[in-house]
Amino acid sequence: MLHLRIHCKWPLLLRRWITTKVSTKQPWFYASDVPKSKPYNVDYIPNKPPERFVKFCQDDCGRLEASYQRWINKQDDSVIVPVNEDLLFDVNLRKMELSPAYWKAPTYEVRRGLWFDSLDRPLTAELTQELEEHYSKMDFNVKSSQNDVFKLQGDYEQGNIVLFMDKGTAYILPDIDGGDLQLSLIRANIAPSLSLKGTKVVRADLKGNNENVEANSHSKGSQLGKLSDLITWELPNLLGTNDSEVKGLENEKENEILSKEIESDYKCGPSNVRNVNHLVLCVHGIGQTLGKKYEYVNFAHTINQLRTNMKKVYAESPSLKKLNQNNDFSDWNTNCNIQVLPITWRHEIGFQTDAAKDNTENPNLPTLADITVDGVLGLRKLLGDVALDILLYSEPYYREMIRNQVTRQLNEMYHQFQRRTPRFNGEVHFIGHSLGSLILWDILCQQHKYKLDFDVQNYFCVGSPIGVFKLIQRTKIDGTVNEKDLHREQPDCRDLYNLFHVCDPIAYRLEPLVDIRMSEIEQCYLQHWTGEGIASRMLEIGENLWKDKSEKSKKRKGKQQDLDSLLTSKLLNLNYKGRLDYSLPPGFLEVDFISAAKAHISYFEDVDIANFLLKEILCQHKQSGRKKE
């Protein structure tokens, strides 16, 4: 039974895959353990067929089956079907593969769950098609003898001969050396006890309750974990102190980690379509070239964690739901109305840190590997993959390339999201992490040169080195100052925020660049989110120390009352609250090197950050003192 709910303003294609509801029990699956391809490894070839599969949600299965039927009946040329959480992925029906819609990542095989092996795994599309062709020739209601053995044309690991037992069971045989006796034993259901060669396959009962098919869905209980923990685990490898495990990681661990990501990062419900009124575009900082060697070190996974945390915090926060209720959103009780998407620019920049890559841009110049000294290679590799990005942005040629690349991707992502989310007519916000915050800053401060196709509301700098860069450049943050020998900059956004961890060695404050007197006033501190299962992350002794510090902080903040009207106006011109700097409270004894490294990369895993972003994005406010130039 087909139900159509067509919105007149939606393009025909979008109406087709978003609003079509098909009553069907035909399951669809995607592999999760062995990728078909990897975007940053053109030489990758799967060394075995996939063995683990995840079932698409009911709504996705219905739309996949409907699109598949239209396609094979030549009623529709479209072969792309958006699926999974928030429709962040596409299924290509022609290639039968799953891939992300907004970023580059490994692709995975898709299978239509019609025939299953003894381990409840769906058979390949090619084998399923052949089985169906022969199956259609059978009439299981006729008791008279008929041909129930067929030769398969494809080269399949199970065999090349199929014997149909009944309308729901068949055996695939590598050969029939035993002749009629072998076939008779199989027909009599004696073959399993005699361990005769053959693979039993079962056809899904599309008219039944399909409980056996539901069991095929692989468990999503395994979690990939926090990126900061993975970095802690990987740091000895990168420094060359754990070489034996590095090889194992590259050969076996990588696919397992990718498997956990595709299985656990995306939470699918009965329907994956939801309204979005706030689009948050996130730009990464340094170190993304590590994603070419270790694909779990990728910004997409980081943003997946942020998206998950934001949905979790919203689901458990009546005050946040109240904000959306006040905004007259009909789905305020279940939907935060925010989507966060990654902008991954580093892989598009030509400078290579890979030892095997030639210098294609300038063949007469050596590669980085050619000039690298042999000593402490592990540390040099780490610096080459991480710190080199800062050097690249300091060089005018690459700085211009990076700004143009990020601007192009921001505009393309915005328009792509509009095409895929026709009802979106909301606000756009930026999150820039580390060097990414500096890139966004320069773009927003030079809109005459790097033109965006949309207005930016909130701009969140996270773990940002902007403060030290602007200090070196003798630049103040203000749209009104006119002091000799000083530059002035103000990003073209409604509200500016600077979020940092006090243990982050890369992060610097911004408020003293507005006025030096702000250095005497401590930054604001984010409140702990205390949802179910999260009390406080600090030990009792740490809490006592923090209370003492907070009392001193309150006394210092009293000085803000004495600020003159000009400074107050400057701050309100940048943020409606009159404050820019916000810090996460430190954990007890977070002072070592590992804690400092984790502090810089753990922002998107922190529920306090997710809570703050939700509150500031969802609250409706008017900018005080804004002087738009």
> Pick the residue with more confidence: 247 or 614?
614
**How many residues does the structure list for the chain?**
629
> Where are the alpha helices (H) located in 421-525, listed in sequence order?
435-445, 466-472, 511-514
What pLDDT band is residue 147 in, cutting at 50, 70 and 90?
Answer: confident
In this predicted structure, the answer to whether residue 459 has a pLDDT above a threshold of 70 is: yes
| 358 domain-assigned | yes
One domain for residues 108 and 132: no
* Alpha carbon distance, N-terminus to C-terminus of the chain: 57
| 412 domain-assigned | yes
What are the pLDDT digits (tens) for 423-441? Answer: 898 999 999 999 999 999 9
What are the pLDDT digits (tens) for 490-539? Answer: 999 999 999 999 888 889 999 999 999 999 999 999 988 765 434 444 43
What pLDDT band is residue 194 in, cutting at 50, 70 and 90?
Answer: very low
| 350 domain-assigned | yes
The pLDDT value given to residue 252: 63
One domain for residues 532 and 459: yes
The pLDDT value given to residue 236: 52
The pLDDT value given to residue 478: 82
| 497 domain-assigned | yes
What pLDDT band is residue 50 in, cutting at 50, 70 and 90?
Answer: very high
Cα 208 to Cα 168: distance, rounded to the nearest angstrom: 12
Total structural domains in the chain? 3
- What does the pLDDT average to over 308-333? 93
| Residue position matching structure tokens 């995306």 | 266
Residue-number span of the structural domain to which 57 is assigned: 2-113
In this predicted structure, the answer to whether residue 235 has a pLDDT above a threshold of 60 is: no
Sheet of strand 89-92, all strands in order from the earlier edge strand to the far edge: 53-55, 28-31, 108-112, 97-100, 89-92, 80-83
One domain for residues 366 and 415: yes
* Last residue of one domain, picked from the residues 113, 136, 166: 113
The pLDDT value given to residue 253: 65
Mean pLDDT score of the chain, rounded to an integer?
78
> Pick the residue with more confidence: 247 or 319?
319
| 586 domain-assigned | yes
In this predicted structure, the answer to whether residue 193 has a pLDDT above a threshold of 50 is: no
| 256 domain-assigned | no
* Last residue of one domain, picked from the residues 56, 89, 113: 113
| Residue position matching structure tokens 């006394």 | 555
In this predicted structure, the answer to whether residue 2 has a pLDDT above a threshold of 70 is: no
- The residue type of 482 is N
Interhelix angle 299-315/607-618, rounded to 10 degrees, is: 70
The pLDDT value given to residue 263: 75
In this predicted structure, the answer to whether residue 241 has a pLDDT above a threshold of 60 is: no
One domain for residues 109 and 131: no
One domain for residues 38 and 184: no
Neighbours of 258 (CB within 10 A): 23
What are the pLDDT digits (tens) for 78-137? Answer: 799 999 999 999 999 999 999 999 999 899 999 999 999 989 999 999 999 999 999 988
Strand spans (E) along 338-438: 338-343, 427-433
Those residues whose C-beta lies under 8 Å from the C-beta of residue 554, and which sit 6 or more positions away, are none
One domain for residues 405 and 371: yes
- What does the pLDDT average to over 446-464? 97
> Where are the alpha helices (H) located in 37-178, listed in sequence order?
58-72, 125-135
| 130 domain-assigned | yes
For 515, how many CA atoms within 13 A lie in the half-sphere containing its CB? 20
Least confident of 60-74, 148-162, 280-294, 305-319: 280-294
The pLDDT value given to residue 311: 95
One domain for residues 314 and 431: yes
> Pick the residue with more confidence: 550 or 55?
55
Q: How far is CA 524 from CA 6, 499, 556, in A?
A: 48, 10, 11
**Nearest alpha-carbon partner for 225 in 256, 269, 181:** 256
* Last residue of one domain, picked from the residues 113, 134, 159: 113
One domain for residues 324 and 465: yes
pTM comes to 0.82
DSSP 101: S
Cα 201 to Cα 120: distance, rounded to the nearest angstrom: 9
What pLDDT band is residue 273 in, cutting at 50, 70 and 90?
Answer: confident
One domain for residues 9 and 85: yes
Helix/strand/coil for 574: helix
One domain for residues 164 and 295: no
One domain for residues 364 and 465: yes
In this predicted structure, the answer to whether residue 370 has a pLDDT above a threshold of 70 is: yes
| Residues identified as active-site | 434
CATH number at 24 reads: 3.30.720
| 597 domain-assigned | yes
Class of residue 378 by CB neighbours under 10 A (exposed 0-12, middle 13-18, buried 19+): middle
> Pick the residue with more confidence: 334 or 187?
334
> Pick the residue with more confidence: 231 or 82?
82
The pLDDT value given to residue 248: 43
One domain for residues 108 and 191: no
